Every structure is written in C-alpha cells, then in structure tokens.
Structure 1
Amino acid sequence: MPTFNKKEVMDLRNGKRRKVSGGVRSSRRTAAARMKREAGKVLRSLTVENNINRPGLMDDDEEEEDCFSISFLRAGPSGAASAVSPRYSLLREVGRGSYGVVYEAVARRTGAKVAVKRLQCDAPENVELALAEFWALTSLENRHQNVVQLEECVLQRNGLAQKMSHGNKRSKQYLRLVETSLKGERILGYPEEPCYLWFVMEFCEGGDLNQYILSRRPDPQTNRSFMRQLTSAIAFLHKNNIVHRDLKPDNILISQKSGSPVLKVADFGLSKVCAGANSKNFEEHPAAGGGGRGSNQNGVVNINKFWLSSACGSDFYMAPEVWEGHYTAKADIFALGIIIWAMVERITFIDAESKRELLGTYVRQGTEIVPVGEALLENPKMVLHIPQKARSSMSEGVKKLLLDMLAVNPQDRPDAVQLEVRMDQVTCAA
C-alpha cells in the first residue's frame, strides 16, 4: 500500500503568490484545507439483520456504545444480539472542514443540541488529524469556557459503535488507528467496510469569527472582550502543553447561549501535545542530554522551548519561523496577533477558493498580497505599519502589544501567560 507523507497535508511554502486584479484580493488555501473528502449524506440506519450478517465487526472485549442515528447491536445476557437505540439524532449538515463533515444534532435523552463531526478513516492523513484533535482535547483535565468542549469520541464500523478512551491499550480498534497514523498505510477496514470517527462537541450557534465580526457594525467593546477571551484560551492551552498551530478566524467559533458572545477555539487537527520523553504524548523531538529539548530532568515541559518541525497551518496566519519549519508555541502568539489586528481594523481578503471574505492582514507588494509572516521571513527588517488605517481608534497600548506579538524573532514575543496579563491591562485602559 502507498505510504503517507506528512507533507501532503501540511502547508509548505511553494513559492506561489496571491495576485490582486480589479481590486479583488485573493489567497491560496492551505494543503490541509484542500483535503476535502467526498463524504456521503447523513448515515442511514443499519438494520438488525444487516448487522447480524456481518460477524466479527467489533472483536474487542469492550462494550459497544450506543451512538448516532444508526442502529447497531449489543450482546444481551444470553449472548444474543439486540438493537440499541441511538443517543443522538443528526438534524442537518452545518459545514465541512479540512477533514470532516459537521452536523447539528440533538441528544435524545436531554434534548440538548450538540455538534457532531464525522471523519471517515479512509486515509492515514485523516486518521492522523483526527487523533491529533482527540489527543489534544482529551488531555485537558479541566474545562475552559473559551475552548470547545469534546463530549465524547466514538469509533463506528458497520453500525457498531465503541466509545474511544485516551491511551486505551486494550482496544484493538484504537491501537489500529494509531498504527494507521504511524505507518502511513490503511490498517482499519476496507472500502466495503467503512470506518468512521465521530466527535461529539458543544454546539456553537453563532458561526465563526469571520461571520460574526463582518456581519455587524464595528464595536470596540466587543473587540476588547474577544481579545481577552482569545488570549485567555491560548494561555490555558499553552499551560496544558498544547500548541494549536492553526489559529485563524475560521477555527474560532461563537456561542451565544449565555446571551453575550463567547468565543470557542476549535479544530485541533493540526495541534500538538508537547510532552517530555516519558510522557504518553511525547512529540517530535526525542530526549537529548537527559532533559530533551524543551523539557527538564523531571520531564516538565517549557512549551516555549519545545521545538516543532512540521510546517503547517494557514499561510496568512503563519509566523516566519513556521515557513522555515523550526518553531515553538510562540507561533500561536504570532497567529493571534494577525487575527486581533485584522479584527480591530477589519482588514480582509477574498479567499480564492471559497470566495469568502476573511479576516486577515497581509503585506502588499505591487499587485500581490503576501502573508505577513512570509514577508517578514524575506525581509526581517521590514517595519509593520500598525494601525494600517489612517483613521483608527486603536490605542497605543494595543498597537505596542500587536507589534510585540508580531515580532520577527520569537524570543521578542510575549509568551501566552505574559500576553494574557498585558491584554487585560491594555483593554481595561482603552
């Protein structure tokens, strides 16, 4: 079978530029965002008879979990198979991400709305992205109001469903998924026996940050609230050794359940859990000289010194060092700076593929627009003009903070904890 090359899903620099003609700005999508899979419509129910005629689907000793609007079997006391009612009903498709389809669903027992993301495990790169999201969200011991909450993850194969648990070495299905990701070849299932991963998450009815900001009049108070929420979320993730690596307005969702908008950082498919050599989530660099890169003798990680080497993300939000493929969690700080700058000044471009207007800052070079990180890589001495617009209400404190967040040298940027403190200061003073 063909092996999977990570570069196929990572956004690597290819020398192309975005050109502007007739006043229309365009961008190129990342390779990860282009990986749209031909997913089918909402799954039809599988009958009891169909399941009975397919023996050996779940050969683990674990109990199969009831799941979505699909029927499956559970062994009864006598060993006979019996149908189990699903816990969730899929209502409608609400979007397609870089590697999955998202549905609005309802929990049958409580009536609560949830978001359900379905990923077909038909390719190792899909499995790798799904496991990255699963590992990141299940590694969090506490909740944060600005990080999307994973309720459960379910592995479904031919109508039989099994709840996924982190690091469960007794689960053959889980181990096969990990093997698929590591070996880069298909391990689980066959075309006639599809395998799916389902992520059940909280439902965010307010859309993403692009939709929310651009559909409303400018509101400095909302901007300040969003700036504090975003920095709080990233500080929380970094304290928990998670680097998001794909921060952008598309991946920031809005919940309005409480009346006021609450941001939710989502889509952890490119994230990394940075851990020491002795951890179950040990990442890209092995230990060196006892402590390893980014960790001390006790395996405690300094996430700002833990080096990553996969050049990934979305180009308009990527830090200069990410383009080179050698970076730390400070890359998230840069991406956040681009998002906040664009949000405050409402700087946008038109995505060439989706034709959507997106929040994002850039550098204009003649008729071309270039991502800020790429431009800084080519010219580290380039001065960023913040604010970009002549009539801007941006305070001096926010301006200085953005310049620090977008420093070409990662060491000159504040870390997430420092950023949270400074953001509280500048937004309260504004």
Structure 2
Amino acid sequence: MHSSGVAPPAASAKILFGKYEIGRLLGVGAFAKVYHARHIPLGHNVAIKIISKAKVIRSGLVVNTKREIVVMRRLRHPNIVRLLEVLASHSNIYFVMEYVKGGELFSHVSRGRLPEDQSRRFFHQLIFAVAFCHARGVFHRDLKPENLLLDDSGNLKVSDFGLSAVAEQIRSDGLFHTLCGTPAYVAPEILSRRGYEGAKVDIWSCGVILFVLNAGYLPFNDPNLMALYRKIYRGEYRCPRWISPELRQLLSRLLDTNPGTRITIEGILNDPWFRRGLEEGNMLKLMRFREDIEERISRVERENEEDDDRDLNAFDIISLNPRFNLSGFFNPTVEALQRFISAGPVEAVLERVETVGREEGLVVRRRLRGFKGRGSAAVQGRMGALIAWVDVFRLSPELVMVEVERGGGMEAAKWNVEFWRGRLAAAIRGSVRPASRRHRSARG
C-alpha cells in the first residue's frame, strides 16, 4: 500500500496513459468496448469506453463521435452518466466516464416484468433526465433499456449519446431528418421520413420503455422488419391484463402515433399515474420539479459564466470549442492543426495575428468569444476566401494555447500557407523579424 493509501497496480495490469489501470470487460458494442478501470493516483473507479477509429471512419460516424463529446459536456445531472475525460491514441479514442456499478436496466427486465411501483420509480428518473436534456437542447434519439444503467443504489442513469442531436442541427422547417434509432423503439414519424421533433421521438421511446418495464416484453415486435415498422406506424399493440387502467391511459398517450397530440413532458408531470409515486415520497416534489430543472440549468450557466475567469484545461478545450477539429483522432493521414503554447493574454495574441496578417496583405477579422478566456480570428485573402482560422485559449494567466488551421479554396491555394503559418507562429511567440517584401507575397 502506498503512503497515499491507494494500492499500486499489479505487475501484469494494463496501464493506460500512465494513470488508468484497465480491468474487466463490461460491454461490447458495434464500434466500442467498455472496460472497468481504476484511476491509479486517486483510486477511483471509472468506466472507459474504447472506440475504434477505423470502425467509426468506415461507418461514417465521425461527426456523431465528435457530437457525443460536446453533448455530454452539457449534461450534468444525477440521472445521466457523466463524461470525465477524453483521450486518444493512434488507433482508439477513450471516453473516461463515471462508473455505474449496477449494469444495464435491460438485464433486470430480461428476467421478467417489474412491479408497477418499481417501474414507476425508474420512469420518474428517466423523465427527469430526458426533461433536463430537452431543456439543454439535447435529444437522445436512442433511448432503450440497454442505454439505461443502474448505480449501486438502484438509481437510473441515461448513457450512450452517440446518436443524440442538438437544437443547432434543426433545419429551417423546425425538424430533424436523420433516420436513426433502434427499430423496436423508433417513433412512427421517423419512419415516415418527413421530419420529426426530437422531443417527441424521445417521449415515444420512453413510452416503449415504460411498456417493457411493466409487461416484460416489447409492445411492437415482429421478426420481419417491415412488418414491425407497419405495427409501429399503425400503433398496433395490446396491453397485458395486469396493467392498471391509469397506466394504460398514460401508455396510450405516450404511444400516440400522431406526434401533434402525443403527450408532452408537461403532460407526463401532470398525469395521475406518474404523480402517484411522487406524492407518496414528497408532496412538493412534483411542484418543485420545473423549478429544479430551471435551477439546474441556471447553475450550469452560472458555472459557465464563472469559467470566464477560470483557466481552461484540455477537456474544456475539446468540449467547449464548437469548431474543435478532431480529425487527427480519426485519420493519421489528415494533417492536424498546428498547436503551440504562447505567452500573453488572449487579446495581445490576437493583436499580433492582426499585425502579421496586415503585413502579408491579408484581412484579419478577430473577436473575443463571450469572455476573455477565448478568442478567434479569421484570416482572409484579397478575394475574401478563408486563408486560415486562429483559435486562442487561455491555459493560465500567463499562457495561452494557439491553434492555426489551414483554409481552403483556390485563393488559399495561391498562398504559401506553410510559410505564412510559420511566420504567424513566430510572431505570436514574439520572435519574428520583419518579413521581406519578397516573402510577403510568396506563392505556393
């Protein structure tokens, strides 16, 4: 035992990035494996999701993986699995997540139906989590018992946001159009391919989950996929005799094939079957739920505002920057961004970018991104094409990280971008000498 009280790793243990001791396999998916692991310095248990870059690329899910990082950074809720850290190697991406000891809810349901009171408790927690996601502009789109985990206290936690969407993806018609989800849990409007509301399809999936918890089997099931989709589209299901009338009523409103009349989160909160468990536990809990959601959102927003004066760490840079390029995670042949550390505040670095750009005959449009810890600059050529994009992140009061990303297009191709970026890097580091007239217009 170390003096810190944490046991050292076994000699044969696999150590990841010098700090995580990999343990037993917890689960296997199409693109990833999940392992139990121990954070060696602190002795904490974590789960590590190891994602194969090659499989993700072949399946065209690079964007989904990037989005999952951004989405999970938004969601801090007791009924949602928390993402702690993102790491990468030559062949894999590693999501370090909160370890949820109880396993999948699916394993409990597979043994048979649950008592109505127990299923109601899980449904409460599911709806609380889903309502929080929707309030934060996140839509899961793949809710099912396999993606619901239980901790050692029997509390439900939503996981796997790989197919999730955010409000920023909504098209001009106010709808999503991506066909996604698990067949037995997918909403009928997704099958129609005419567009759908993210909140409504999540509510449909919650209805299927509630049915499975109480019945012990799926409401829509058929070995023939097209026959299954016809049943879903028509809403053809039958409740078993042991389901109570109040629950039948709620299920009929959850599994309404018309998204326009399907029950909303507000309607669920006011449903008699849903309210019953809350009233037995705490008469004020239902009344406080909306306030709790708003308070949680406000707290997260306050934390983000407090981040204005907080130094950014590596995970903040990955998750907070909407333009963060993860292409280097997936394809070693793709040139990564040029990144380096520089001294000085963000504003001073951007001023140096503007100075170099002006000397090179370029136009630099710079701005601070809402607070003094981040800033960016677009470097444009004479015809307005993007030559380079510069992002600056504060790491400490004395240091910033600078990223310079190559632009594209014909105008950018005419410039010696490598020379220009090298000059910019030197200028930011404060070691540049005035460029000669010959190099200012160097061609590629």
Alignment TM-score > 0.5, same fold: yes
Counterpart among 216, 225, 228 of residue 346 in structure 1? 216
Instruction: Write the letter of the residue equivalent to 1:322.
Output: I
Counterpart among 26, 43, 56 of residue 94 in structure 1? 26
Equivalent positions of 1:222-233 (< 5 A) are 222-233=118-129
Alpha-carbon offset, residue 384 of structure 1: 3.8
Counterpart among 109, 115, 119 of residue 219 in structure 1? 115
Instruction: Write the letter of the residue equivalent to 2:231.
Output: A
Instruction: Write the letter of the residue equivalent to 2:274.
Output: D
Alpha-carbon offset, residue 334 of structure 1: 0.6
Match of 1:69 in 2: 15
Q: Take 2:209 and 2:115, find their aligned partners in 1: how far apart are those partners? A: 16
Find out whether 1:203 has 2:99 as its counterpart: yes
Find out whether 1:273 has 2:273 as its counterpart: no
Instruction: Write the letter of the residue equivalent to 2:98.
Output: E
Alpha-carbon offset, residue 235 of structure 1: 0.7
Find out whether 1:147 has 2:80 as its counterpart: yes
Alpha-carbon offset, residue 152 of structure 1: 1.3
Asked which structure has the greater CA Rg, the reply is 2
Match of 2:35 in 1: 103
Match of 1:53 in 2: none
* C-alpha spacing 1:370/1:403, structure 2 compared with 1 (3 Å): farther
Q: Secondary structure at the match of 1:147?
A: coil
Find out whether 1:327 has 2:191 as its counterpart: no
Q: Take 1:235 and 1:284, find their aligned partners in 2: how far apart are those partners? A: 18
Q: Take 2:149 and 2:30, find their aligned partners in 1: how far apart are those partners? A: 15
Q: Take 1:131 and 1:322, find their aligned partners in 2: how far apart are those partners? A: 23
Equivalent positions of 1:283-322 (< 5 A) are 283-285=169-171, 292-293=172-173, 306-322=174-190
Match of 1:115 in 2: 47
* C-alpha spacing 1:225/1:371, structure 2 compared with 1 (3 Å): farther
The answer to whether the Cα contact below 8 Å between 1:361 and 1:371 also exists between their aligned partners in 2 is no
* C-alpha spacing 1:375/1:417, structure 2 compared with 1 (3 Å): same
Q: Take 2:115 and 2:175, find their aligned partners in 1: how far apart are those partners? A: 38
Instruction: Write the letter of the residue equivalent to 2:71.
Output: A
Alpha-carbon offset, residue 264 of structure 1: 0.9
Match of 1:425 in 2: 275
The answer to whether the Cα contact below 8 Å between 2:38 and 2:45 also exists between their aligned partners in 1 is yes
Match of 1:83 in 2: none
Residue-by-residue CA offset, 1:257-313 (whole Å, 9 max, x unaligned): xx3x11111111000011xxxxxxx3152xxxxxx44xxxxxxxxxxxx41101101
Instruction: Write the letter of the residue equivalent to 1:324.
Output: S
Aligned residues: 263
Length-normalised TM-score, structure 1: 0.56
Residue-by-residue CA offset, 1:181-231 (whole Å, 9 max, x unaligned): xxxxxxxxxxxxx33211011111211111023347733321111111111
Equivalent positions of 1:406-421 (< 5 A) are 406-421=255-270
Higher relative contact order (CA 8 A, sep 6+): 1
Instruction: Write the letter of the residue equivalent to 2:165.
Output: K
Equivalent positions of 1:47-196 (< 5 A) are 69-70=15-16, 86-122=18-54, 123-124=56-57, 125-140=60-75, 143-154=76-87, 156-157=88-89, 194-196=90-92
* C-alpha spacing 1:94/1:402, structure 2 compared with 1 (3 Å): same
Q: Which consecutive unaligned segments of at least 5 residues does structure 1 have? A: 1-43, 46-67, 72-85, 158-193, 275-281, 286-291, 294-305, 348-359
Residue-by-residue CA offset, 1:386-418 (whole Å, 9 max, x unaligned): x2x23x0x2222211110111111011122343
The answer to whether the Cα contact below 8 Å between 2:100 and 2:149 also exists between their aligned partners in 1 is yes
* C-alpha spacing 1:148/1:215, structure 2 compared with 1 (3 Å): same
Q: Take 1:132 and 1:98, find their aligned partners in 2: how far apart are those partners? A: 18
The answer to whether the Cα contact below 8 Å between 1:363 and 1:370 also exists between their aligned partners in 2 is no
The answer to whether the Cα contact below 8 Å between 2:84 and 2:97 also exists between their aligned partners in 1 is yes
Q: Which consecutive unaligned segments of at least 5 residues does structure 2 have? A: 1-10, 281-444
Q: Take 2:202 and 2:114, find their aligned partners in 1: how far apart are those partners? A: 25
Alpha-carbon offset, residue 345 of structure 1: 1.0
Alpha-carbon offset, residue 233 of structure 1: 1.1
Q: Aligned-pair RMSD on alpha carbons?
A: 2.7
Sequence identity, in percent?
Answer: 28
Q: Secondary structure at the match of 1:102?
A: strand
Match of 2:146 in 1: 250
Alpha-carbon offset, residue 129 of structure 1: 2.7
Q: Take 1:202 and 1:310, find their aligned partners in 2: how far apart are those partners? A: 29
Residue-by-residue CA offset, 1:325-361 (whole Å, 9 max, x unaligned): 31112011111101110110111xxxxxxxxxxxx22
